[in-house]
A = this chain, B = another copy of it.
Amino acid sequence: MPPRWDIIELLFFAYRDFVGDPDDVLDQFGFGRAHHRVVHFVHRYPGLKVADLLDVLRITKQSLGRVLKQLLDEGYIVQKSGAADRRQRLLFATAKGEALVAQLAGLQTDRISRALRDFKPDEVDAVGRFLSGMIDRDDPDKVLQAILGADSGMTRE
């Protein structure tokens, strides 16, 4: 099987520019890419546990610690003790956090919409199936399962 140089390199450049938009905004907040990832997933999956976040981001708790603390201190995220298990710290985005996520997602959505402009529904669907297919399936990751599970029919509104 010959290497798919085309896709390999397109993925590199596409991802480079895809994360480049948020990076510029994050700089103004004194944040980095790590902060974006954390506040994004907390906003999207309210009540996420610290352990879930570690699974999703594939980093250690020590790495997550500093970034999470900053987001808590500056009021982008709050944490509540779990009702069933009070050891757990369930994470939620504040209005401030939601606003930041929305701003960054807006930039990325603009880019995606531009790329998908004039795509037929089944072409959009193919893009979604490709990206899903690129992801490891043997992954005991709750968030990931939620995404992949909800992923039938990319053309829904």
Where the two chains meet, the residues of A that have a C-beta atom closer than 8 Å to any C-beta of B are: 1-18, 20, 37, 40, 44, 58, 102, 105-106, 108-119, 122-123, 126-136, 144, 147, 150-151, 154-155, 157
Contacts and interface: CB of A to CB of B under 8 A. Distances in A.
Main secondary structure of the interface of A (DSSP, over half): helix
A128 B44 contact: no
Nearest to A134: B14
Contacts of A18: 11, 134
11 contacts: A1-B106, A1-B109, A3-B105, A7-B128, A9-B44, A10-B132, A14-B131, A14-B135, A16-B58, A114-B133, A118-B155
A8 B108 contact: yes
Contacts of A110: 1
Contacts of A129: 115, 119
Copies of the chain in the assembly: 2
A148 to B, nearest CB: 9
A4 B147 contact: no
Given A147-B9, A147-B10, A4 B108 contact: yes
